[in-house]
Amino acid sequence: MQTTYIETQTVSFQDFKNQILADYKLGRISREMSYMARREVLTGKAKFGIVGDGKELPQLAMAKVFRNGDFRSGYYRDQTFALAVGALSVESFFAQLYADTSVEREPASAGRQMNGHFATRSLNEDGTWKDLTQIKNISSDISPTAGQMPRLLGLAQASKVYKSVKFHGSDKFSNNGNEVAFGTIGDASSAEGHFWETLNAACALQVPMILSIWDDGYGISVPTHDQRAKEDMAEMLSGFQRKEGKTEGCEIIQVKAWDYPALLDAYARAEHFARTESVPVVIHVTDVTQPQGHSTSGSHERYKSEERLKWEADFDGLEKFKEWILNYSIEIEGKEEILATVEELENIEKEAKKIAKDGQKKAWENYRNSIEVLKNEVLPLVENLKSQNSEVEAELQKFGSLISYAKKDIFSLMRKVLLLTRTHQSSERQWLASKYQQLLAQEKDNYSSHLYSESEWKSTNVKEVKPIYSENSEMVDGRVVVRNNFDKIFEKYPETLVFGEDAGNIGDVNQGLEGLQEKYGKVRVADTGIREATILGQGIGMAMRGLRPIAEIQYLDYILYCLQGISDDLATLHYRTKGGQKAPVIIRTRGHRLEGIWHSGSPMAGIINLVKGVNVLVPRNLTKAAGFYNTMLQSDEPAIIVETLNGYRLKEKQPDNLGEFTVQVGIIEVTKEGKDVTLVTYGSTWRLVMEAAEELEKLGISAEVIDIQSLIPFDISYEIAESVKKTNRLVIIDEDVEGGTSAFILQQIVEKQKAFRYLDSAPLTIAANDHRPAYASDGDYFSKPSVDDMVEKIYAVFHEANPSQFPKI
């Protein structure tokens, strides 16, 4: 087991002195980076700047107790910490400020995130995991305030899980659960619900977590007294303080941001509690200053009084640190020893400025050189076309008059010239067109790659394994199929665990996990409180550390509580790190076709438009759902799997190859062949569509029924267009609101698959009313498409086409 900082601090005076001066130097380098970043924005070389000046000392102290294998989930101002743990260089800081798209120069996001958003790379280029126990890990930052908190819970919980869960390769993710998860947040963001939900859950679960609150007294311009119940955050949190002998609550430590020795002591004690006792710790860091204000978007002089600004200057952490260094002396063997003279510190400050300036200069040169290379490839090819159109020369002159140019200006020039010369199919024009396509492919990789996995484990690579049935296959309730499949999953994948409201003791509200907690234990099959945002966060954090969590959200309607985290964190993780991090969490939920405003289960349009980057799978029964679980556990992508809420008691034949059969992601299934019209649907509505199709047969209309199965990705083989090519008519039937998921499906089929070429009638969508269903079956009948609605509306399509054969009803 790794020792803690508090246990290893026997050093010589010279070593102590070297540590202090190294901290001062790094703090000064970070401060100079902050100053220069603001100047780079204000002079137009960068778009926006948000920096960490004023927070240097607490971050230096935090870095001292941050070990290999630990994780940080933090606030976008932790540049000093990132520098101190080797996750950031001066050059990579400025490369991010300039949005350099090179992974080598800007490894956190390859220019996809604004500055101050830090990350380490957990994955090799082929998508395999690095040995995370040998790295100081930073989970990729996000901008939404407090959005980093739910993930922090999962990162911390993984350590607790690894104390008892072992599997082949688990030693790459944890050293017997000895890791600590560090979180950081601004005090204003502690007003967000995610903060309180995470702290509550961490205290309930007793996970090794250290949460630092940087309290600078403001949330942009809003002072503390307008943000929370009490100005003293530690006092407000006092109810969470654990009592002696109790295994609940957390430790709370308050310390001033300018008090270097007290900060070292605070973080040493925090690490001891978290690492040795698995206790969450909150460190409330007060008296934090912001020398340059909130960001480059404005000036803090607008809302801070002269007295406050003077206080901030007097209590600037680096100035107080300098004062402490100069006043420090100790007698050793009769000789007075000091840490540094004024001249020595001034030399350190000069050196820090030079290091920051050199790093900034190098980053700018690298960034501009990449654009110069692009320009030098393109301009000669454009010059060759001047003779083919007089306006080409004008476009070149416009480009040449630009004071500063970016990639977009070069691409715009190419596109305008190709448009101007469209009637000249010369070899010179072809050279430019080919270069444009080549460069466009590079920029597509720079800006649009890695939304989904590009490894061999991407979800669409998992092949279908059909269910096997025999004369001994039983007809059972649907919930038995999914339960017995989970049993096989837990047996096959020791890294898999499931958790959610009522998931453990009673085996979920629909008995899909019945008896599994008793068989596999409370760590792997666990109950949680009613806290959807942090249930998701548990899943994200644990998936980032090599586990395969299944996070259960009891009903699809309540996924809205964690939709922000799915959208802003989970769905963007692989993209915003350009393949540097992944979190293959499976979100298990249930919905569709039930009655009542909050259990009707169809907010699909909101989901699919907000979670691009996550697979959205909508099986029509529990056997299909089980197959999707088996598929996604072979993939390295996240997914939402929506089980049919009204299917748990319906009978299904149980496959003999539980845990093995799979359903292909992005592949539709034709469940009824037909020749007159293609009916497209998914989930529980499929049963009603099948019933409507049988009714239509009696009316002389042969309907082909297609179960989408997977909304994201959608019909990757374009099979629906082939069906429309045969039937020449298209109807989309959905229980979402008008213009909801049905609009997405229509766009995919008619526009993307170009099925409009085969239509003899206008495409029809049959959707629910815009309100949610009232309670009881009558509410469902009158609110969502019924079999009667489907039959009548589809029949009307044929009446319009052939009134004599299909007279009006």
The residues pairing with 329 across neighbouring beta strands, listed in sequence order, are 338
- Distance between CA 667 and CA 672 in Å, rounded? 16
Could you identify the residue written with the tokens 């798209």? 101
For the residues 272-282, what does the mean pLDDT come to? 97
Residue of 277, 282, 52, 258 whose CA lies nearest to 182: 282
Show the tokens assigned to 438. 């080549």
- pLDDT of 236 over the 60 cut: yes
User: How confident is the model over 151-187, as pLDDT tens digits?
Assistant: 999 999 999 999 999 999 999 999 999 999 999 999 9
User: How confident is the model over 522-556, as pLDDT tens digits?
Assistant: 999 999 999 999 999 999 999 999 999 999 999 99
Q: Residue 70: which pLDDT band, with cuts at 50, 70 and 90?
A: very high
Residue of 629, 579, 21, 534 whose CA lies nearest to 325: 21
Could you identify the residue written with the tokens 């710790």? 281
Give pLDDT, residue 779: 87
φ and ψ of 476, to 5 deg: -135, 170
DSSP track, 395-439 = HHHHHHT-SS--HHHHHHHHHHHHHHTTT---HHHHHHHHHHHHH
Give pLDDT, residue 9: 60
Name the packing angle between helices 342-383 and 390-400 (round to 10°). 180
Give 336's contacts (C-beta < 8 A, 6+ positions apart).
Answer: 329, 330
User: How confident is the model over 186-233, as pLDDT tens digits?
Assistant: 999 999 999 999 999 999 999 999 999 999 999 888 988 898 999 899
Q: Residue 431: which pLDDT band, with cuts at 50, 70 and 90?
A: very high
For the residues 100-119, what does the mean pLDDT come to? 97
Return the minimum-mean-pLDDT range out of 9-13, 30-34, 483-487: 9-13
Secondary structure letter of residue 276 according to DSSP = I
Catalytic position from the list 168, 272, 574, 599: 599
- Percent of the chain whose predicted confidence (pLDDT) is above 90: 88
User: How confident is the model over 446-465, as pLDDT tens digits?
Assistant: 999 999 999 999 999 999 99
φ and ψ of 686, to 5 deg: -55, -40
- pLDDT of 3 over the 90 cut: no
Annotated catalytic residue 599: yes
The CA angle 48-53-56, to the nearest 5 degrees, is: 140
User: How confident is the model over 493-509, as pLDDT tens digits?
Assistant: 999 999 999 999 999 99
Pairing of strands 222-223, 218-219: antiparallel
For the residues 374-402, what does the mean pLDDT come to? 93
Of 754 and 592, the structure prediction assigns the larger pLDDT to 754
Give pLDDT, residue 7: 59
Average pLDDT, the chain: 95
User: How confident is the model over 759-784, as pLDDT tens digits?
Assistant: 999 999 999 999 888 888 888 899 99
Query: Exposed, middle or buried: residue 451 (CB in 10 Å: 0-12, 13-18, 19+)?
Result: middle
DSSP track, 742-809 = HHHHHIIIIIIS-GGGG-SS--EEEEE-SSPPPSHHHHHHHHS--HHHHHHHHHHHHHHH-TTTS---
- pLDDT of 603 over the 90 cut: no
φ and ψ of 629, to 5 deg: -60, -45
- Distance between CA 586 and CA 536 in Å, rounded? 9
- Distance between CA 312 and CA 320 in Å, rounded? 11
Give pLDDT, residue 17: 95
Q: Residue 5: which pLDDT band, with cuts at 50, 70 and 90?
A: low
User: How confident is the model over 667-724, as pLDDT tens digits?
Assistant: 999 999 999 999 999 999 999 999 999 999 999 999 999 999 999 999 999 999 999 9
Give pLDDT, residue 1: 46
Give pLDDT, residue 298: 77
Could you identify the residue written with the tokens 């606030």? 75
